[in-house]
Structure 1
């Protein structure tokens, strides 16, 4: 009898130790599942069933059990019955993970939005574009190229090809349409970076200035500039690993204020000499943006009035953290057509329907390779200077996100190419090559 009790005690201790050891992983697993479910249902207007089958179906997230409360506009996820996380939807701000019960009923400010223009044709409005047939486009080859992207293994959800401001090819997977909002993940970083270009054009900021971070004023980090942060070349420590308990996973699923985590990191290199991809840096930039305004409301409105709604990306929702900061690293949802408009803004050197939002000089700055990035990165924008895509032009650049979200801008070819999916399995180089070859 004593032996049996000892065995039970021993097994109980093993279970307790295992749970304690894995608690952070369970916390993040449940957090990802709940947050993604809430955003999918209440921002993208999908169903719980669709989201479970298609978006939360990969390991270890598929071990979480999801529930949705339509009346409360919340989603919860239980990690194998040991831990439950909850995410709530807030109108205008998207979904956010709660950290305590009081978060559910807290009052919040929301951005003021402008009404969509359904009279002006795409891209300057949201009405159907005027039909244009280009004699130099091989539409048969183009459509074949786009269709190949939708093989089951690629898990492509949307593709849009724009030439000279006109959609020349467009295709969606089953369950998706031109009205479907899709999460851009790190394409959001390019939105955040662009806001600095807009402020600089307005004469309200100089990105070459020292980063205005009080915590850095009395140590070597005081030499870090906004420019260094935009290029992710600050020299600060950061672990961007989505498959473990890392800086980025803790920030996205455990933090109330996501602008602070990068601030507290030490140097592991030197500014302008140590490129390191960091979502924490982009959220720090979101915090710097917030401090440019006298009120929180002005900060919330600026993203939309000066960029997002300004160019008719009316479907876009940029989600905030619990402290009211835009999660500029990761959480912008929009239709593929609206993501394409963002690419067109850059293709047209910051001019939109006759009005300059930023300058050609900003485009050159943002697409200049960061030192030590091997030609891969500019200012919150990915580059092809290092020929990651060998059959695409060297001066092509892109907004990229997790699971294969891409907006490619090809200045010489006057092309903007959007691909959105769930994996990086697709041969994007072959896709780009095929689109380019379609232009005679």
Structure 2
């Protein structure tokens, strides 16, 4: 009997080894997502491990992982059946980052310089509570009803903020969330990255129609790719943006040390200005191009906050970096819904913030011009409704959009900014926006 059990045990161990070998890349990404999301939720957003596991990490296949927190060293680990474990750490000023076994946790790192919140001015130009303003042309009962419809178990909405003529006219938060809760914007971060190019262009420091300054491209046809092509996701370069499998984007976010370089190595699958392809790798490449505009890494880190984020009072915002200290401009900005609304207001006001012009109105026109071959759906790191994605919403509406239903909608004609943040894209956004717009009486 013993002689039979030993070969059987070897067979079982061999099967386990094969399964682990074949699924290692997938397990690596699952554990990485869970560790990173847990660390950021706890140490950036101030949530509990229990809440994070029951909400943000409670979907297939991420719910196969188990997570632990080390409060003393400010780290989180994610493990898949104990077969593979990943670790993420918190760094002051840079947020949380997944690390590898060779990462030196004792190495010093730079911290971006921040400015203090303006507590003397009212929203939106400061962080003092806004003065109560009642607009006679707003049907508040209808407005509150429209917002209430977004908060149900199916929609999983966490926050809605409606701003009209620079004033919050309604806001609501889900359980465990308040106006002070930081929420991950995911790909809304791309619009932050794009806006910084508008600011640099307004300052006369670059021209987005210049060729992309990528040395690796100078000896082949990729040398013809412009910054403009990258901003419009229209470079013609190969990229797979699929969060449900092992793809370019999941490998970048959960395996790479330097996320600004991943898109550089991709070959052409089309032609610049003729092949729109949504790519988080492209936005992180843009983050790397921003780094090239400064003499030091400290200046690069400071610029994001001094020129935009803190400049318009998004003081709650934190943009996380990769292991090499580059901003993950594609995905990792955290802020309160009110502060996300401020970015929308900056665009609604054509780049003018309380009398200071951060970028020209021409930049708004540029950023909201449809990219060729995007079917009217995309501009420069901004989503558009020119292609009638939302049929009951004005075509001039544009938005910052992120994974799992993060949105900032800008409606120029209605002088409105609408923020909706949640955990699912199941919500009927067309009906929601139509209902909000209808509260304005003619």
Bucket of the pairwise TM-score, normalised by the shorter protein: over 0.9
Residue of structure 1 equivalent to 2:367: 366
Distance (whole Å) between structure 2 residues aligned to residue 151 and residue 10 of structure 1: 49
Residue of structure 1 equivalent to 2:44: 43
Distance (whole Å) between structure 1 residues aligned to residue 103 and residue 89 of structure 2: 12
- Show the 5 A alignment for 1:358-437: 358-437=359-438
Residue of structure 2 equivalent to 1:206: 207
Residue of structure 2 equivalent to 1:283: 284
Residue of structure 2 equivalent to 1:302: 303
Residue 3 of structure 1: how far off its partner (Å): 5.1
Residue of structure 2 equivalent to 1:92: 93
Distance (whole Å) between structure 1 residues aligned to residue 104 and residue 86 of structure 2: 13
Residue 11 of structure 1: how far off its partner (Å): 2.5
Residue of structure 1 equivalent to 2:128: 127
Distance (whole Å) between structure 2 residues aligned to residue 218 and residue 397 of structure 1: 38
* 2:28 maps to 1:27: yes
Residue of structure 2 equivalent to 1:68: 69
- Show the 5 A alignment for 1:92-241: 92-241=93-242
Residue 4 of structure 1: how far off its partner (Å): 4.4
SS of the equivalent of 1:287 reads helix
Residue 13 of structure 1: how far off its partner (Å): 1.7
Give the structure-2-normalised TM-score.
0.98
SS of the equivalent of 2:93 reads coil
SS of the equivalent of 1:103 reads coil
Residue 10 of structure 1: how far off its partner (Å): 2.5
Distance (whole Å) between structure 2 residues aligned to residue 402 and residue 270 of structure 1: 27
Once the two structures are superposed, residues 258-287 of structure 1 have per-residue CA deviations (whole angstroms, 9 ceiling, x without a partner) of 001100000000000000000000000000
Residue 9 of structure 1: how far off its partner (Å): 2.5
Structure 2 residue runs without a partner (length 5+): none
Residue of structure 1 equivalent to 2:55: 54
Once the two structures are superposed, residues 366-412 of structure 1 have per-residue CA deviations (whole angstroms, 9 ceiling, x without a partner) of 00000000000000000000111111100000000000000000000
* 2:5 maps to 1:8: no
Once the two structures are superposed, residues 37-94 of structure 1 have per-residue CA deviations (whole angstroms, 9 ceiling, x without a partner) of 1100010000111101111111111111111111101111111100111100001000
Distance (whole Å) between structure 2 residues aligned to residue 374 and residue 139 of structure 1: 36
Distance (whole Å) between structure 2 residues aligned to residue 48 and residue 397 of structure 1: 35
Structure 1 residue runs without a partner (length 5+): none
Distance (whole Å) between structure 2 residues aligned to residue 413 and residue 218 of structure 1: 49
Distance (whole Å) between structure 2 residues aligned to residue 8 and residue 200 of structure 1: 66
- Show the 5 A alignment for 1:276-355: 276-355=277-356
Once the two structures are superposed, residues 168-200 of structure 1 have per-residue CA deviations (whole angstroms, 9 ceiling, x without a partner) of 110000100000000000000000000000000
Distance (whole Å) between structure 1 residues aligned to residue 257 and residue 133 of structure 2: 49
RMSD between aligned alpha carbons?
Answer: 0.8
Distance (whole Å) between structure 2 residues aligned to residue 232 and residue 103 of structure 1: 35
Give the structure-1-normalised TM-score.
0.99
Distance (whole Å) between structure 2 residues aligned to residue 39 and residue 90 of structure 1: 10
Distance (whole Å) between structure 2 residues aligned to residue 278 and residue 31 of structure 1: 20
Distance (whole Å) between structure 1 residues aligned to residue 287 and residue 103 of structure 2: 25
Distance (whole Å) between structure 1 residues aligned to residue 354 and residue 126 of structure 2: 10
State how many pairs are aligned: 440
Regions of 4+ moved over 4 Å:
1-4
Distance (whole Å) between structure 2 residues aligned to residue 123 and residue 382 of structure 1: 23
Residue 5 of structure 1: how far off its partner (Å): 3.8
Deviates more, 1:178-187 or 1:128-137: 128-137
Distance (whole Å) between structure 1 residues aligned to residue 279 and residue 104 of structure 2: 27
Distance (whole Å) between structure 2 residues aligned to residue 384 and residue 377 of structure 1: 8
